[in-house]
Amino acid sequence: MINAAVSVEARKTELREFSEPQLTAGSGLLKVELSGVCGSDWPYYLKYPSTKGPLILGHEGVGLIDKLSAGAAKRFGFKEGDRVALEEYLPCGHCDYCRSGDFRLCDDTDTLNRQGSIRYGSTPVSIEPSLWGGYSQKQFLHPNTVMHAVPGNISSKVATLALPLGNGVEWAYLQGGICLGEAVVIQGPGQQGLACVIAAKEAGAGLIIVTGLSNEADIKRLALAKEFGADHTVFVDKEDLLERVADLTGGLMADLVIDCASGGPETVVSALQLARKKGRVILGGRKFQPIPNFDSDQMITRFLTVKGMRGHSFESVEMAIQIMASGRYPLEKMCTHVFGLDEVDLALKTVGGEGLPGAIHCAVDPWALSND
């Protein structure tokens, strides 16, 4: 039997047992080492169990390939026993988005825009074979699974950062286009903001500024941002952000602004103000509400490029794994908490700001229980 933590309704999780599934052609089974707790898991926890039914959350799984059915090894390019990190997407492989490399936008796996789409961490257990999430001892490997090899020198905790760090590479470098010597402002020092710091540093940014609040959590995160390569940090509740950035950039403002903040809509407004003429703005932190005082004329008069951003590409995750394997950054400092399978509720609440203090990136060990 396979133990899993099933979110049965908003803010409620229970342990359940599942039989090992019969594998269809081209599929497999992953023995999960750890599964990261994404910041998006918290709003999913508040919404999806009520709208989709009971489900196993978790889409940042790292583990060993346990079993492969006929044809799966050739399809995946991996063999049993290989260590891999999964992406959450389950794309069709043949639509325009998939063929052009943007498989994260494939309708078959675009749960944000199309009902009935499936992906890891947001598919109910009512859809066979139920094991669609990483908060489980074993996870089903759909024939369309996207996975990456994980070198043995990367610890399980750090390996769960493959997708968050992949987001940072995607947002700052591949989409944000940060170039050698440019100035970047990163709003929000959470796991995504810190990942963007690393990506900007790797790309050769000349000036990296990270913003946050003067509370205990952000003070620690901003200190870590400096360890990762940030040149300056700004407490937006104590300093005038626009004046500070103007001072640091000689009045030119930022070539690139990345909004990773998940709070109120104010950071969208400030992101436009922080960008220099012909600058770029990446909006990555969802606000779940309209943006008041959004002056679209700024985009015209200051010739701005503003891009909404979500997720990662295959390329960005591969680059993230290379960064992790290099050992150039103390990434273990981002991995603040590991929870047992019976603590998934606490893990989710911790990421949502209602659990244990000091969290940056959390993970779930499906083979551990809190009373072990």
Reported as a single tens digit per residue, the pLDDT across 241-271 is 999 999 999 999 999 999 998 877 888 889 9
Question: What are the tokens at 85?
Answer: 């990190």
Listed in sequence order, the residues at least 6 apart from 51 whose beta carbon sits closer than 8 Å to its beta carbon are: none
Question: What are the tokens at 131?
Answer: 């094991």
Give per-residue pLDDT as tens, 132-187: 999 999 999 999 999 999 999 999 999 999 999 999 999 999 999 999 999 999 99
What is the three-class DSSP state of 189?
A: coil
H or E, element range at 269: helix 266-274
* Alpha-carbon gap, residue 49 to 52, rounded angstroms: 6
* Alpha-carbon gap, residue 59 to 119, rounded angstroms: 8
In terms of Cα–Cα distance, which of 95, 131, 173, 120 is closest to 3? 131
What is the three-class DSSP state of 363?
A: strand
Quick one: average pLDDT of 196-210? 98
Cis preceding-peptide flag for 129 (omega within 30 of 0): yes
Quick one: average pLDDT of 207-231? 96
* Alpha-carbon gap, residue 185 to 75, rounded angstroms: 41
70 or 131: which leads in pLDDT:
131
Max mean pLDDT range (38-47, 225-234, 303-312, 353-362)? 225-234
For all residues of the chain together, what is the average pLDDT?
A: 94
What is the three-class DSSP state of 207?
A: strand
Judged against a pLDDT cut of 80, whether residue 371 lies above it is answered with: no
Domain boundaries, the chain: 2-150+330-365, 164-308
In terms of Cα–Cα distance, which of 234, 231, 244 is closest to 214? 234
In terms of Cα–Cα distance, which of 98, 5, 104 is closest to 312? 104
Domain topology for 2-150+330-365: Quinone Oxidoreductase; Chain A, domain 1 (3.90.180)
359 or 372: which leads in pLDDT:
359
pTM attached to this predicted model: 0.94
Placement of tokens 């257990």 in the chain: 125
Confidence band, pLDDT 50/70/90 cuts, at residue 286: confident
Judged against a pLDDT cut of 80, whether residue 70 lies above it is answered with: yes
Quick one: average pLDDT of 187-209? 97
Q: In this predicted structure, what is the pLDDT of residue 372?
A: 59
Quick one: average pLDDT of 175-200? 97
Largest CA distance in the chain: 63
Give per-residue pLDDT as tens, 288-321: 788 887 888 888 999 999 999 989 999 999 999 9
* Alpha-carbon gap, residue 247 to 251, rounded angstroms: 6
Q: In this predicted structure, what is the pLDDT of residue 370?
A: 79
* Alpha-carbon gap, residue 363 to 5, rounded angstroms: 13
Judged against a pLDDT cut of 90, whether residue 220 lies above it is answered with: yes
Share of the chain above pLDDT 90, in %: 86
Do the domains 164-308 and 2-150+330-365 match in fold? no
Say what the alpha-carbon torsion angle 317, 320, 324, 328 is, to the nearest 10 degrees. Answer: 170
Placement of tokens 């997720």 in the chain: 311
So what's the architecture of 164-308 in CATH? 3-Layer(aba) Sandwich (3.40)
Q: In this predicted structure, what is the pLDDT of residue 316?
A: 97
Question: What are the tokens at 345?
Answer: 């509720």
115 or 21: which leads in pLDDT:
21
Give per-residue pLDDT as tens, 111-126: 888 888 899 999 999 9
In terms of Cα–Cα distance, which of 29, 4, 18 is closest to 142? 29
* Alpha-carbon gap, residue 282 to 159, rounded angstroms: 26
The Cα-based distances of 257 to 177, 234, 280 in angstroms read 11, 14, 6
* Alpha-carbon gap, residue 113 to 127, rounded angstroms: 19
Q: What is the DSSP letter of 22?
A: P
Sheet bearing 305-308, strands edge to edge: 232-235, 207-212, 183-187, 254-259, 275-283, 305-308
Listed in sequence order, the residues at least 6 apart from 77 whose beta carbon sits closer than 8 Å to its beta carbon are: none
Number of Cβ atoms within 10 Å of the Cβ of 341: 23
Q: In this predicted structure, what is the pLDDT of residue 369?
A: 84
Q: In this predicted structure, what is the pLDDT of residue 146?
A: 97
